[in-house]
Amino acid sequence: MSESASQPETTLLKLARQIGSEEQQIRTGGGQAAIARQHEKGRWTARERVEQLVDPGAAVHEVGLWAGHGMYDTWGGAPAAGVITSVGVICGQRHMIIANDATVKAGAFFPSTAKKVLRAQRIAFTNRLPVVYLVDSAGVFLPLQEDVFPDEDDFGRIFRNNAVLSAAGLSQIAAIMGNCVAGGGYLPVLCDTLLMTEGSGLYLAGPALVKSAIGQEVSSEDLGGARMHATISGTIDYLEKDDDACLARIRRLIGAGRHDPATPAAPFHRVAPVKPARPPHDVYDLVHTDPARDYDIRDVLSALVDEDSFDEYKAEYGKTIVCGSARVGGFPVGVVANQHHRVTTAGDRYQFPGVLYVDSAEKAARFVMNCK
């Protein structure tokens, strides 16, 4: 081959190697030091979370890898626009997965971040894909905030799309797995199901801003921590210990739902039945005919539903009623059951068994809506 003929090939090879090198750099997000800091907090990175969430061996199609490339070098860069958007298979069903990358400016939203999330939502709506949001974001990147909120096709439209997707019957599950601050706090609470890991925070303003505004000192946990939202505000549906428990819960909740529309099946998705954890005849010993005798309804459920299939909804909130998804004989069911012993609320107040208080009534109503 002549020297002139081989020259273009050499140039193309160099270009391919350069693109491959840059792509690998983008996939490392904020770099190895930022990844190490995320791990020190006991949290996975966005890409590691997606990898654990999807079915083992299933292909993941990433969308918008090069978004924001070279646009924010003045601010240290924003690889992949600080958010991972991928189509992946979870429990046999295709989902759009949107995961903030906390290694890139603490997952803050740049202008291209909002555009990328909007694009992912549009793809989900067009292709009728359920959406999973893995939230770990410090909110808007403040030096560029004037470019994030300027018109109808920017940050605020994300929340409008939350409503549109739900109205179209497309499930949206959000998991707060780190920071969830300011405007970004609207997204998860507009979803159908909300999980939160211990140590995470959901608040519109941090402790420093509260002190500056009204002079009150308050901790991050009391202001918007996971346990506060689980026991007092009732904002979150499932309180999880860590990333592993949270991702496993998401998979169970998805697995209990409907099949992918592209693979029609019976209205009820039955799996192989499993015997209850307790013999069914234990119900006769657990439930007393004397209404004054207390018992825990969860013990009764353990004799009725398939073992390890019960996922309790808002377990720390509205405790006089127990709600959750489970399987009976392999069939998915929703459970709403009155609790039959006295409980204590977050404010150390007693609530009597079998009584529907405001929090328990709200909890049951929301759960029934989720069972649609």
Please report the domains of the chain, with CATH numbers, ordered by start residue.
31-255 (3.90.226.10), 280-370 (3.90.226.10)
Residue whose entry in the numeric block shows the structure tokens 């009584």: 355
In 3D, which of 44, 36, 31 has the Cα closest to residue 197? Answer: 44
Q: Which pLDDT does position 267 carry in this prediction?
A: 54
Q: Which pLDDT does position 84 carry in this prediction?
A: 97
CB < 8 Å & 24+ apart, contacts of 142-148: 142/108, 143/75, 144/72, 144/75, 144/110, 144/111, 147/111, 148/109, 148/110, 148/111, 148/114
CB atoms within 10 A of CB 89: 16
Q: Which pLDDT does position 279 carry in this prediction?
A: 95
Q: Which pLDDT does position 149 carry in this prediction?
A: 75
Q: Which pLDDT does position 6 carry in this prediction?
A: 57
Q: Which pLDDT does position 2 carry in this prediction?
A: 52
How many residues appear in the chain?
372
In 3D, which of 127, 79, 103, 112 has the Cα closest to residue 260? Answer: 127
In 3D, which of 42, 40, 112 has the Cα closest to residue 73? Answer: 112
Burial of 13: CB neighbours in 10 Å, binned 0-12, 13-18, 19+: exposed
CA 122 to chain centre: 19
In 3D, which of 203, 208, 212, 207 has the Cα closest to residue 181? Answer: 203
Q: Which pLDDT does position 81 carry in this prediction?
A: 95
Q: Which pLDDT does position 323 carry in this prediction?
A: 97
Q: What is the pLDDT along the chain (372 residues), one digit of tens a residue?
A: 455 555 666 888 888 888 888 998 999 999 999 999 999 999 999 999 999 999 999 999 999 999 999 999 999 999 999 999 999 999 999 999 999 999 999 999 999 999 999 999 999 999 999 999 999 998 889 899 888 876 777 888 999 999 999 999 999 999 999 999 877 788 999 999 999 999 999 987 677 778 888 888 888 888 889 999 999 999 999 999 999 999 999 999 998 875 555 545 545 678 889 999 999 999 999 998 888 889 999 999 999 999 999 999 999 999 999 999 999 999 999 999 999 988 888 777 888 888 999 999 999 999 998 887
Give DSSP secondary structure letters for 254-299. Answer: HHTSPPPTTS---SS--------SS-GGGHHHHS-SSTTS-B-HHH
- The structure's pTM equals 0.89
For residue 134, give the amino acid letter.
Answer: L
Q: How far apart are CA 273 and CA 370, in angstroms?
A: 23
User: Residue 178: CB partners within 8 Å, gap ≥ 6?
Assistant: 41, 43, 100, 102, 107, 135, 136, 137, 197, 200
Q: Which tokens sit at 155?
A: 């940050």
Residue 40, by phi and psi: left (phi above 0), alpha (psi -120 to 50) or beta? Answer: alpha
CB atoms within 10 A of CB 133: 26
